[in-house]
Amino acid sequence: MDKLVFHIDVNSAFLSWEAVYRLHILGEKTDLREIPSAVGGDIKKRHGIILARSMPAKKFGVRTGDTINDALKLCPNLVLVPPHYDLYDTSSKAFMEILKEYSPCVEQYSVDEAYCDMTGTVGLYGSAVVAANLIKDRIYSELGFTVNVGISSNKLLAKMASDFKKPNLVHTLFPNELEKKMWKMPVEELFYVGSATKRKLHGLGINTIGELARTDLDILRAHFKKYGEVIYAFANGVDVSVVASEAPANKGYGNSTTIAFDVDDPSVAKMVLLSLAETVGTRLRKDSVMATVVAVSITDFEFNHASHQLTLLTATNTTNEIHKAACRLFDELWNGTPIRNLGVHTSKIVTGETMRQLNIFDMNRYEKLSKLDKAVDGVREKYGENAIKRAVFLDNPIHHMTGGISPEKRKPKYKEGILE
């Protein structure tokens, strides 16, 4: 039986979900999707980038990832709304539930994208295109937002197809359609080809996906090593990955934060590191895993980036031990330049409490700290993360659990149809 894969991608997801909520819940008359608009971070807190933009905004040259200042230069009348991740999470879950009614195997690729293994199911609907349109139209009629659906025999080509003309369309890209539909596209449109690879390929005279597909593989190996084989296979439509409904285990846990002010005091920086260690440790404990490696990243006020890591004597998931390692790394790494962004990251993850080996040099009283962390996690899970915090964070502008999605971005605050 021939393999059949759908890739379903929400059109301008965050913006669409904001628009639908405002139209159908708040009763607003203006559809954000029909005017130059964008979802962006908080410029006052220096999280000022564009997360999603409408098609009219795109025509002005506004791109995802642009700073808000740059976007406003391109489009002075751009309507900006802040992100609200609880709303997006709810919308995403409803989107995934509909997909699961059509396929026994759905792989959530991101909050607004999914693959469906439709092998053997399309006979129920007549054809793959009919099935894709049924999914697309049902999502629009029940949830109010549009999607693109890409159809192919593997995940790569299905994803490429869903990125063709938007919005609210179905496209096919089977191997016999590569030359007509994909090979004429610029090489940077190929999945997995970034800006650095694009420049290298252009330097070799390779400007389209078709030219890449016809390039001697030995030439690509010489310039890109193993990566050359990957992009060569992708250009020829070859992808052996399968749709997997089970997500792979995390290989690392980390969080970073852009601080609202430049930090030049090491004690303040270490307080930020503590708030990050609190968040990272909570995530590790929730998944019943521990980390063997801790790393710290620093971005200064001129956007220079540096990082440093160390391997622990024994794996851990306690907040105190993660923070202690982070502070040591910070002292070794920081050169005194004012700091804009800090991050704490962990890797070499091991499963289960039994993996920890206690030793006579264990001065952190691991067992007591571990029990304390679990008790605190239990209180926060039951009553909210602000129910209990360390005394150092009382009356402090630094939030006690930093990184990821901040509380104010999770829940929309609307009043009389207008965002507060």
Tell me if residue 418 falls in helix, strand or coil: strand
* Pair of tokens at residue 324: 């202690």
Long-range contacts of 35-38 (CB under 8 A, 24+ apart): 35/79, 36/60, 36/62, 36/75, 36/77, 36/78, 36/79, 37/78, 37/79, 37/80, 37/81, 38/62, 38/71, 38/78, 38/79, 38/80, 38/81
Q: What is the C-alpha to C-alpha distance for residues 174 and 182, in angstroms, rounded to an integer? A: 10
Q: Which of 18, 107, 113, 385 is catalytic?
A: 113
Angle between helix axes 266-286 and 366-383 (nearest 10 degrees) is: 80
Q: Is 179 a catalytic residue?
A: no
Beta strand 289-300 pairing with 305-316: antiparallel
Which region, left, alpha or beta, applies to residue 404 given φ > 0 means left and ψ of -120 to 50 means alpha?
left
Q: What is the C-alpha to C-alpha distance for residues 280 and 323, in angstroms, rounded to an integer? A: 10
**Residues 6+ positions from 118 with CB-CB distance below 8 Å:** 4, 5, 6, 102, 103, 128, 131
Q: Which amino acids are annotated catalytic?
A: 113
